[in-house]
Amino acid sequence: MSRIVMKFGGTSVADLDKIANAANKVKQEVDNGHEVIVIVSAMSGKTNELVGWVKDSAPADGLYDKAEYDAVVSSGENVTSGLMAMRLQEMGVAARSWQGWQVPLQCTGNHEAARIDAIPSENMDASFASGVKVAVVAGFQGVMADGRIATLGRGGSDTTAVAFAAAFEAERCDIYTDVDGIYTTDPRIVSDARKLHKISYEEMLELASLGAKVLQTRSVELARSYRVKLRVLSSFEEDISEEVGTLVCQEEDIMENIRVVKGVAYSRDEAKMTLLSVADRPGVAAAIFGPLAEAGVNVDMIVQNISEDGRTDMTFSCPTDHVALAEKAMTDAQTSGELNYKELVTDSDVAKISIVGNGMRSQAGVATKMFQVLADEGVNIKVITTSEIKVSVLVDRKYMELAVRALHDTFELGIE
């Protein structure tokens, strides 16, 4: 019998009515002849509430026990898995819930950000063999080798879903959420943003890491490694046939209308930091970015200027809420003598805008076109970085929406 994975995010299981709505969709797939592994998130808002309780219970230094964090925060998913199984049973579908440790979903690494090591299939296989049609699994959680409960990092149920699809060789992994697919850009900014039928793993990874928050980045990486067919679709629409939603798949499987640019992404809360006059010699980059990494600063773009008289300027970007950490790390490095610079200049009012598309690999001139559009709109570019399938720029935040619209227009992304 074919198996599929269906994952329901927090907004899709936000209350008992929504759980019933999701259960209806599961029943449809059972009636279609599938065995179904359902992965559920906590009811929307629940995880935030649980995290809040942990933080409020933390000692004065803020250093709480991360194993206990996992024990508390994983509980939201336990509730939804049980409720969903009950609802399915009431509909006449043979279903049972599974917590991570019961499967067991084996984890390694650190509490609060654990990684999946293995998912032995015996227990669940036996359950299916005994006639159970639906396994409702609590997402986001697993168990460490020492038996303690682990969680996979915020948004981790997507990763749970893909991992189950890979381990059980599911035909598809359907991610049900509150949007009906992946769009060429944010429809709240550009009214003619268009839903994509298909997008490659690589493009989705770039978009996911750029803040298109529909899928956890790690889940897309995992899907790419195991060639899991991942579909994003709305749990609030009737139609769940294979035509709806957006399929994230291999580039080779995308026959339609190859475009150079697939989407425009943005990240609103970026900061640009420049260290003025650091020595231009081996070891300096390490002396800057080592302490930043240790401080947990998520450095994104990096630019080193040309040097003059053996000194240079180093610019990097990071999220605005990492600015204080970064400033402290740099000041400490200066004080301890590891690093020497004249001044640290911070600009917290920038946003990052990126164009993404596999077609850029083989087509020249895409970046130029992007720069020209921004120039025509009078938008000054502060930093540029490129990868094989992406060009990103930092601009003043006040121009962000204007720039996104202009780029979406120029690359004709609203046109089918």
**Interface residues toward Mg ion, by CB under 5 A:** 9, 155
Q: Quick one: what does residue 181 bind among ligand ASP, Mg ion, none, with the CB cut-off 5 to 8 Å set by partner type?
A: none
Which is nearest to 211 in space by CA: 58, 320, 307, 303?
A: 320
DSSP 377-411: TTPPP-EEEEETTEEEEEEEGGGHHHHHHHHHHHT
| Distance from the Cα of residue 305 to its chain's centroid | 32
177 binds ligand ASP (CB under 6 A): no
**Is residue 156 within the footprint of ligand ASP (CB under 6 A)?**
yes
**Which residues are within 8 A (CB) of 215 and not within 5 positions of it... i.e. 6 or more apart?**
158, 175, 204, 208, 230, 232, 248
10 is a site residue for ligand ASP (CB under 6 A)? yes
Is 9 or 100 the residue whose CB approaches Mg ion more closely?
Answer: 9
- What DSSP element (H or E) covers 193? none
Q: Residue 203 CB, nearest distance to ligand ASP (Å)? A: 22
Range list of H helices, 256-376: 284-294, 323-335, 366-376
What's the CA gap between 38 and 96, in Å, rounded? 10
Residue 56 C-beta: closest distance to ligand ASP, Å: 18
Say which entry of ligand ASP, Mg ion, none residue 156 contacts (CB below 5 to 8 A, set by partner kind). Answer: ligand ASP
**Contact criterion met (CB below 8 Å) for 234 and 179:** yes
- Select the span of 152-160, 182-190, 250-258, 343-351 touching ligand ASP (CB under 6 A): 152-160
Nearest to 266 by CA among 390, 380, 361: 390
Partner that binds at residue 140, options ligand ASP, Mg ion, none, CB closer than 5 to 8 Å by kind: ligand ASP
Contact between 328 and 356 under an 8 Å Cβ cutoff? The reply is no
143 binds ligand ASP (CB under 6 A): no
| CA-wise closest residue to 243 among 155, 308, 172 | 172
Instruction: Please say which residue, 179 or 403, places its beta carbon nearer to Mg ion.
Output: 179
268 touches ligand ASP (CB under 6 A): no
Examine residue 154 and tell whether it contacts ligand ASP (CB under 6 A): yes
Distance in Å, CB of 13 to ligand ASP, minimum = 10
Q: Residue 91 CB, nearest distance to ligand ASP (Å)?
A: 24
Residue 117: name the closest of 104, 99, 126 by CA: 104
Query: Closest CB to Mg ion belongs to which residue?
Result: 155
User: Does 140 contact ligand ASP by CB under 6 A?
Assistant: yes
Residue 41 binds to ligand ASP (criterion: CB under 6 A): yes
Q: If contact means CB under 5 to 8 A according to the sort of partner, which of ligand ASP, Mg ion, none does residue 47 touch? A: ligand ASP
Instruction: Label the pairing between strands 35-40 and 134-138.
Output: parallel
148: its two tokens = 């303690």
Work out how close the CB of 160 gets to Mg ion at its nearest, in angstroms, rounded to a whole number.
11
Judge whether 156 and 117 are in contact, CB under 8 Å.
no
157 binds ligand ASP (CB under 6 A): yes
Residues 339-398 that bind ligand ASP (CB under 6 A): none
Give me the residues that bind ligand ASP (CB under 6 A), please: 9-10, 41-42, 47, 76, 139-140, 154-158
